[in-house]
Structure 1
Amino acid sequence: MKKLFIAAVLIAALGGALYYFFVMKKPEKTVPPFKETVIGSWKMDSVAVSKNDSGNVLGLMILAIDSNYLNYTYDFAADGSVNKKLGDSLVEKLSYQISNTAQLTFIISDSTKEEFKNEVVSFDKEKFTLRASDSSLLFFKRK
């Protein structure tokens, strides 16, 4: 009789575990990789400069020097190139590299090959946010 009771308890526990595993467990959200999501045309929506006075100098300088900073369109291609446009005219050719979906590096395509490293804060199919080296946040939305 004890063996029958123990077998029933074990079967009930196994049934409960299987029920939890297959029915109750919620499927995890599948987020598309950033490298695939970023391909296309993007417009800079806004910039939030760092609250730290010493950290926001670069962000404020860029906004002060270039009044069209928020009017550019960035066309990301699968080959790692970015065309920075103002309206229909090409302003600058860049390239980009993505490492571990956590960092997006822009590389200027001139002889200097200057790099601007940005941390990917958040992304989805319609918008993404980058944190620049000066802690400014750059908000992009799909065009």
Structure 2
Amino acid sequence: MKKIILAVILLAAAGGAVYLFTQRNRNIEPLSETSYKETIVGDWKIDSIAANDSNNLGVLIMALDTNLTSYTFSFSKDGAVTQSLNDSIMPVKRSYQWNDSANIILSEGDSASDQQYMKILALTKEQLSLMSADSAVIYFRKKK
């Protein structure tokens, strides 16, 4: 009985050693800052909006817009954001810039007072979640 237990322990140890050896030799490259920033480039549609505070004025105004989920936001590499509804482009000058890997600044117009600091909660190839200063969360999905 002792020989069987010893054999099982040695087999488990050998398996663990093989696993550690193969994992150590794998080249796992982290997502670079350049590829992270390029993930936002493309067309995004608003999927939904959530707010912790029911008195949030911005969410209330957005909820009154019946076309909210029909807007497409096109983020380009040069920092421009084009908003369109179906085939018509909205005449609003928007842009974005990276503050760091977890925050972007959305600008509307040329004034510094028209800037919104947005925290990135999630950014994948299919989903984007941004939280505004008033804790409203806007969920986007990539347009196919």
Which residues of 2 match residues 1-143 of structure 1 at below 5 A? 22-24=21-23, 30-31=30-31, 33-50=35-52, 52-54=53-55, 56-64=56-64, 66-91=65-90, 92-109=92-109, 114-143=114-143
1:34-84 superposed Cα distances (whole Å, 9 cap, x missing partner): 31100010101110122x345x222112322x3222211000000000000
Shift of 1:121: 0.4
Listed as ranges, the gaps of 5+ residues in structure 2 are: 1-16
Q: Which amino acid aligns with 2:84?
A: K
Root-mean-square deviation (Å):
2.8
Bigger shift: residues 119-128 or 108-117: 108-117
**Identical-pair percentage:** 31
1:31–1:124 CA contact under 8 A, matched in 2: no
Shift of 1:132: 1.1
Q: Which amino acid aligns with 1:132?
A: S
Give the Cα separation in 1 of the matches to 2:140 and 2:20: 39
Q: Which amino acid aligns with 1:78?
A: K
Give the Cα separation in 1 of the matches to 2:58 and 2:97: 22
Listed as ranges, the gaps of 5+ residues in structure 1 are: 1-17
Shift of 1:130: 0.6
1:98-142 superposed Cα distances (whole Å, 9 cap, x missing partner): 121111211012557611111000111111111111111100000
Q: Which amino acid aligns with 1:109?
A: G
- Per the normalisation by structure 1, the TM-score is 0.73
Give the Cα separation in 1 of the matches to 2:110 and 2:67: 21
- Per the normalisation by structure 2, the TM-score is 0.72
Query: Are residues 113 and 94 of structure 1, via their aligned partners in 2, closer, same or farther at CA, if it must alter by over 3 Å?
Result: farther
Q: Name the SS of the counterpart of 1:125 in structure 2.
A: coil
